[in-house]
Structure formats: C-alpha cells, structure tokens
Amino acid sequence: MQRLIGRVALVTGGASGMGKQTALRLAREGARVVIGDIDEVGAKETTEQIREEGGEATLRPYDASLETSCVELVSSAIEKYGQLDVVANIAGISAFYRLDEISTEIFERFLSVNLTSPLIICREAMPHLKRTRGSIVNIASVNARVCAPYHAAYGASKAGILALTKSLAIEFAADGVRVNAICPGGFDTPMNEDHRMPKGIDEGLLARLYPLDEMGNAEQIAGLIAYLASDEASYISGEDIVIDGGLRSAL
C-alpha cells in the first residue's frame, strides 16, 4: 500500500525493534523518513535498508535524554524536507526493579527518555504538523493501564504518555492534528531480550503477561502505526489502542 506518498515521517528509536520496523513500513508506504536514534550503527542499517528498497531516508543521531538533542532532531527534519506530516515517538527504555532498588536517578532516567523526550518532540513538531494537519503516534505500554510487578518506574513513565497523548489530541483537534497512543504488551524486540531483572522475584507474577504463550512482533506495531498515520484513520484521535495478545482479558 502507498498511503503516505508525499509525506515526511520522523521516527525515533529507528535503529531496532518497533522503531526499525516502523521506519521500514512508513517508507514502504511512500513516506520520506527521518530516523533518530542514539545507536548510530543500527540507525544507519535501517536507513540503508530503506534506500536499498527504493525508499528515501535520512539518519539523525540523537540522545533522548537531552532536550537540545530532541530539538535538533525535529529541526533537522524540517531543514532536510521543509515539512513534517508524521511523528512516531518510539524510542524508550525498560527494565524491572524492586521498589527498594529504584533510586531517584533511575526514576528520572525513565521519565527523561520515556516521557520528557516525547513531550519535547511533540512541542517542537507541532507548528509544522499544524501546517500539514499531520499525525502523532506515541508508544505507551499496556503497563500504563494494567500495572505489572517490578515495573513501577516504567509504568509511571508510560502512564504519563497516555495523559500527554490525550491532552494534545484535545488541544490541537481544531488544527487538524491527530494524536494517538499504542499500548503494546509483550513484544519480541531487542529491548525485551535484554531486560534487567531483579534477583529473587516471583516469576509466576510475570508469567501472566503472555496469555497467548507467545510474544508479538514489531511488524504488528509498525502496521498499526502506518494505519494511524494514514487518512484511513482520519477520525481517530486521542485513543490509546491496546495490542497485548489478550493480556487484559486474561487478568
């Protein structure tokens, strides 16, 4: 399908996992893609794959924990293409901690990368999205709605994404900018492969996170983002769409 021809999409976290598959999918839909990630090697591989498939992509290394880097990422997209139609805030971090392990530094790191960075990118992108009546898709988590053990810091940051998404959807509805969030459950991505786990935890509590006995794949998220970014989803805004393999129904 070619639903995004003529549009420019900014994808954060495009070096691997959901971000990489989203960048690839949006390019295949016809968008020119700006890829932001702290992992320059992985982002370069994504960029080169898009070009090999005949698409157009630009790499911009950035650090989600730094405001200046987030601002420069959006500016680079405008400098390159002169417009911005789609923003996919996918970059994020995840780890499991017992409450007594969560220092202020750890908590602030989760907030900085998972919540503050998307807010800054939305803020900087909004004037350009208003011109194109564009779309934002933020990645939250099912843990923003159904809390998991040992995930207090992560869940808090992702719950903030839902509040951010819904607030912006209302604030900019009259400007034609749609803002939605996706709440994934367990997905087979590099971030989840390297999850930090505390010692001595109750594994039974975490086993309930996968009622289908399998994890989702990043392509499923990418397909949903492509839909939300397209005109087919023109009446969808302010939503938090759960894609969790039946997790909430099993609880």
How far are the Cα atoms of 30, 134, 152 from residue 169, in angstroms, in the given order? Answer: 25, 12, 26
Q: What is the rounded radius of gyration, in angstroms, for the C-alpha atoms of the chain? A: 17
CA distance 101 to 176: 44
Q: Give 234: exposed, middle or buried? Use CB within 10 Å, 0-12, 13-18, 19+.
A: exposed
CA distance 164 to 238: 10
* Amino acid, single-letter form, for residue 102: I
Asked if 150 is an active-site residue, the reply is no
Tally the residues of the chain: 251
Q: Residue 241 contacts by C-beta under 8 Å, 6 or more apart in sequence?
A: 180, 181, 182, 183, 224, 228
Percentages of the chain per state (helix, strand, coil), in multiples of 5: 50, 15, 35
Which of these is catalytic: 154, 210, 227, 235? 154
CA distance 206 to 125: 37
Evaluate whether 185 touches 244 at the Cβ level (below 8 Å): yes
**Known catalytic residues?**
154
